[in-house]
Structures are given as C-alpha cells and as structure tokens.
Amino acid sequence: MRPLARTAALNGYVELSRSLGLDPRALMKGVGLDTADLAVQDRWISGTAVVRLLELSAAASGREDFGLLLTERRRFSNLGPISLLVREEPDVRSALALLIRHQHTYNEVLHARLSEGNGVATLKVDLRLGEPQPARQGTELAVGAFHRVLCGFLGPHWRPSSVCFAHPAPRDTAGHRRLFGPSVEFDRDFNGIVFYAEDLDAPNAMADAQLRSYTRQYFEPIAAPREASEVDRVRDLIEALLPTGRCSIEQIARSLGVDRRTVHRHLARSGETFSSLLHSTRTALAEQFVANPNRSLTEVSTLLGFSSLSAFSRWFHEHFGTGPREWRKSRGGPAVPGGN
C-alpha cells in the first residue's frame, strides 16, 4: 500500500504560498487535498499528493527553493507525539536513532538511515512513494527538516561537512547556502547530510532523565502498529478522493498499488467493506461540512463527491431524515438562499 504523511508535513504551506502570490486552496484541490485538513496536524493524507503539491507550487511560484522555504517554517512539534520523547533523549545519537526507528509514526513516505565510519556520520534521506514521480522539493524539505533537528541539538550555528542532493543544482543556490552553509553538493549519489561522528555524542542540555521515563511510557502505545492500518489508509484515501469525483474501489486500489480484491480482503479482516467505509466517511464529513455556515451547500456536495446539489440533497435526506438546508438551520446555522 502506498504511504501516507501527517498533515504537519505541510505546516506553513498556506502562508508561504500566499506570500508568493499563489492560491493554496486551488493548488491543494488540484492534487485532491483540502486546506481545511491542515487544521489538524495528526491527520493522515496521501504522501504522493503532498510531494506532487510541492512540485506544482515550486513551478507556479518560480521558486526552485520552495521546499527549503517551507523547511524554515517548520517547528520541532511538527514531528507529532514523538517530539516529546526526542527532546528528552540524552544525546544526538539516541535522538536520531529514535526518529529513524519510529519514522513511520510521523511520515510513511520518509526513509532515513544513519551510518558511521572513519569518524564520519552519514544520514541518508529518501522518499518512497510507490511510483516514479518528481520529488525534488519533497526531498529538500525532508533533508532540511533533519538539518533543523540537528541544529536544535547542536546549536543554530552548527554546520555539517556537506549536504548532498542527487538532483542537479538549481539556477540559484543562495537559498541552499543560506540554510545549510557553503558545503552544499549536487549530482551526488545520495540525498543527505554528512558530519563528524563526534557530533552524535553531543549531550542534550534539555534532557531530563526522570521526565524521559514518563514520555516513553506515553509514547510506546502510540508507536505500536495500528491494528486497523489498512482501514485507516482506505478511509484517508476516500476523504482525499471524494472531492475529485473519482472515489471508487478501483481508484483506491490503484492509489495503494494493489488490486481491488486485495483491498476487499484487507477491509474484511476488520469487518468492513468499501461501501461501508464510503458511507461512514461521507456521513461524518457531511455533518462537519453542512454544520459550517461558511461553506455553500453546492461546495459541500462537490466535496462529498456528488455530481449535483440535487443528488447530494436526496442522499442527505435519505440518511438524515431532512434536507441539508433544514438540518443546518436546526443547528443554528443560517439558511443559504438557493441552496448556496
């Protein structure tokens, strides 16, 4: 199945896009995402869509350093619950080891590994998308995020021996050198960061040994594999595909890189079917969207994958016992003239 990413991967995206004269809502909609998703950092969305969004945004803005600009808006907390534990690790080595071991808990696209030899440490970072597609911006965002983590432990003026990218150099490397320092190399055989191994032994001044035991107790249940991960992935993809009008079992299977029978088999293990998940997901979203007076009912019908407002209204009445306009009004929201 194809990987997902937490919405926190796009932290600062809306603000950055607007500052560059872009329309973030239109760009996100073009890849099946919604700006409303970004309000919840721990929501999972298509990792492929995130990477595609970054490439489109870089092209639309004319900024080849778009991924790096987004990196500069990231915070340590964007890692999610694991950030609480990482902050309490005694040294850089254990902090990185923790981030790598549990990378699936904050980004399933990410594949990082650390190696040491001859006094040099090499942190290699790749994106695994399940299909070939341009990923320059996503790669630079990932490498930049790890660089910021290292600077958080080693100080803002810390500089690695080199930062390497497998793709060619951009026309202007000023943004790269501003963020990473002078030793940025392109057309290398890997993406990642090279630094002195002794930096791994640098102590974490923020760490509290007693607090570390508490954070580990808190994090371990979260880090455990999710029993219904297949169901969660299908549900997330349903949410992403509904607005496109292409939410079918065939499209879900293609997005996950499997055939439809495999999807049915995974869902059956949890007592679900594609139809039951589609219905429960659409119903939950309908309650959320219709309750929001800032969304027109025509917009809601599109977001839920209906071809027309009348089709949505009939479905809503069948499942809620009343029309969407009346349902909204009964909950204190204003009626929308003409269904809009």
Side-chain-facing half-sphere of 113: CA atoms under 13 Å: 5
Burial of residue 338 (number of CB atoms within 10 Å: 0-12, 13-18, 19+): exposed
One DSSP character per residue, 139-204 reads HHHHHHHHHHHHHHHH-TT---SEEE-SSPPPS--HHHHHHH-S-EE-S-SS-EEEEEGGGGG-B-
Q: How far apart are alpha carbons 337 and 64 in whole angstroms? A: 45
Q: What is the pLDDT of residues 249-295, one digit of tens each?
A: 998 888 777 889 998 998 998 888 999 999 988 988 888 788 777 77
Give the DSSP H/E element, type plus range, for residue 330. helix 324-330
Burial of residue 301 (number of CB atoms within 10 Å: 0-12, 13-18, 19+): buried
Mean per-residue pLDDT over the chain, rounded: 85
| Residue 102 pLDDT | 81
Question: Mean of the pLDDT values across residues 229-245?
Answer: 81
242-281 core/surface letters (b: 16 or more CB in 10 A; e: else): bbeeebebeebbebbebebeebeebbeeeebebeebbeeb
Contact between residue 266 and residue 309 where contact means Cβ atoms under 8 Å apart: no
SS3 percent helix, strand, coil of the chain, rounded to 5, is 55, 10, 35
Question: Mean of the pLDDT values across residues 185-209?
Answer: 86
| Residue 40 pLDDT | 78
Joined tokens for residue 116: 């040491």
Q: In what order do the strands lie in the sheet with 192-196?
A: 110-117, 120-127, 192-196, 162-164, 184-185
Q: Token pair 């639309």 is at which residue?
A: 60
Give the DSSP H/E element, type plus range, for residue 290. helix 274-290
Position 213 confidence tier, pLDDT thresholds 50, 70, 90: low
Between these two residues, 226 and 215, which has the higher pLDDT value? 215
Joined tokens for residue 314: 């009939």
Q: What is the pLDDT of residues 77-99, one digit of tens each?
A: 777 677 777 777 889 998 898 88
Q: How far apart are alpha carbons 164 and 190 in whole angstroms? A: 7
Q: How far apart are alpha carbons 191 and 162 in whole angstroms? A: 11
Asked if pLDDT for residue 23 goes beyond 80, the answer is yes
CA dihedral 311, 316, 318, 323 (to 10 degrees): -100
Amino acid at 331: R
Between these two residues, 58 and 210, which has the higher pLDDT value? 58
DSSP state of 112: E
Question: Mean of the pLDDT values across residues 306-316?
Answer: 93
Sorted by sequence, the CB contacts under 8 Å of residue 46 that are 6+ apart come out as 2, 4, 5, 31, 32, 33, 236, 237, 240, 255
Contact between residue 56 and residue 136 where contact means Cβ atoms under 8 Å apart: no
DSSP SS3 for 4: strand
One DSSP character per residue, 207-273 reads --HHHHHHHHHHHHHHHSPPTTHHHHHHHHHHHHHGGGT---HHHHHHHHTS-HHHHHHHHHHTT--
Position 227 confidence tier, pLDDT thresholds 50, 70, 90: very low
Question: Mean of the pLDDT values across residues 11-38?
Answer: 93
Q: From residue 60, how far is each of 46, 141, 267 by CA, in Å?
A: 21, 17, 39
Q: What is the pTM of this model?
A: 0.65
